[in-house]
Amino acid sequence: ELNQKNEKKSKEVDNDEKEEEDDEDDEEGMKEGEEDRTIFVGNLPGAITRKELARLFADCGKVTSTRIRSVAVKGVKLPKEQAGNQNLMRKVCANTNLVDEDSKKTVNGYVVFADTKSVQEALKLNNMKEPNSGLHIRVDSSKPTYDNKRSVFVGNLPYGIMEEQLRKHFGEACGGVDNIENVRIVRDNETMKCKGFAYVLFKSRDIVAEALRLHGSTCAKREIRVQVCGRRYKGARGNEDDNTGGRNANRYEGRRATEGATKRILNKMKGKREISSKATLLPHKKRKTHSERNAAAKSGKKSGVSRRDAAQTKVNKRVKKIEKRIRTGMGKTKR
């Protein structure tokens, strides 16, 4: 009965939306040989169809296929034999218009051309305004490479932030939106809501310095964090010499915000020759053994206590001892 209802609803949608249900391509994967002929299109309006997406890039060359992805759906109950099939659930929701616009009002898409020359022409349309919505669309290759030196990390963002809000906020302080190459908001795969951080890529490295001045500014009623981007690798307990190639070998953790404090500590330790001059990571702090902790407790030294506080604590103990001797009678013989 549920299948009959879904089939009845899917007949009501137009042929263009029905093609989206018949698309068997995976969201992340693509057919062999399509990668070099495929472009990624982001920040598209939620109401766009596959035919409208193809018409946007018709002047760049022959379009063989298009796909709509990253649609925020409300969810629908599936039959028992299809329980847990998230791809089918998304397709049914998309074709029956069960879209959650409160979570995300934009979608992403992929356009596949007949030849690679059309891709270069399509990339020139980056930051073009979509005719119906006026949104600045992001046009990039299917697997783009990010330039850390031209990017900034933006943190403490609300879940409902939109690309246009960030573009406007940084455009006002960085000489206009034309200086921004693209805005990438990192979203949850299930809810399509913002995870709280994003990346802004500029056309020039010089603009990054102006963007960093927006650290602590207010965007979408939140005080945002703006930091430079860098790469962070993780090894066995942060040991940079771990090149074993096993599960503890250095592996890329993702694009993270680098802290200037780490560089200052490294330079200070290199100056004191505590670490190698070629070191790029802070050494792992060795954990004290049980005997070492007991020895430290007997000597009165406490971890995390400055020398001044330790000396003052020692003086206070001495003063209390003298005051006690005065009260009990200093110099008197005990009976």
Minimum mean pLDDT among 18-22, 180-184, 242-246: which range?
A: 18-22
Average pLDDT of the chain is: 78
Length of the chain in terms of residues written:
335
Contacts of 109 (CB under 8 A, 6+ apart): 40, 41, 42, 44, 48, 50, 53, 66, 67, 68, 69
The whole-number average pLDDT for the span 72-82 is 82
Identify the residue with better confidence: 108 or 330. Answer: 108
Given a cut of 90, is residue 121 above it in pLDDT?
yes
Residue with tokens 């915000």: 257
DSSP 78: -
Closest CA to 71 of 196, 191, 199, 197: 191
Write down the pLDDT at residue 281. Answer: 72
